[in-house]
Amino acid sequence: MSAVKALKEERVVAEHEGRQITIIPRYCKGCEICVKLCPQSVLEIKDFKVHVARIQDCTECMLCEIRCPDFAIEIAGKGKKGKS
């Protein structure tokens, strides 16, 4: 089951089957680098900020987190090395 919740209005967390994508909207400038690099089209831009559209398709490849120039995306999950 997928769930999205706001934590202290600073982070938006999307979760699905052990994987988690955290967006920090105030860091995001809407450059779309993450959207264009995602091989599964998990992310999209709405209101000039990144949003998780299809977390169930995420392969945890980390391209969005690695390439975000503003550190606005964090990936966690069962498949990510070094994290639980």
For residue 84, the model assigns a pLDDT of 43
Residue 39 resides in a domain: yes
- C-beta separation of 65 from 74 below 8 A: yes
Cβ within 8 Å of residue 63, ≥6 positions away: 34, 37, 38, 39
Residue 84 resides in a domain: no
Total domains in the fold of the chain? 1
- Note the pTM of the prediction, 2 decimals: 0.79
**Which CATH number characterizes residue 24's domain?**
3.30.70.20
Residue 83 resides in a domain: no
Range of the structural domain that residue 52 is part of: 3-77
Q: 48-74: per-residue pLDDT in tens? A: 999 999 999 999 999 999 999 999 999
Residue 9 resides in a domain: yes
Residue 54 resides in a domain: yes
* Percent of the chain's residues with pLDDT above 70: 81
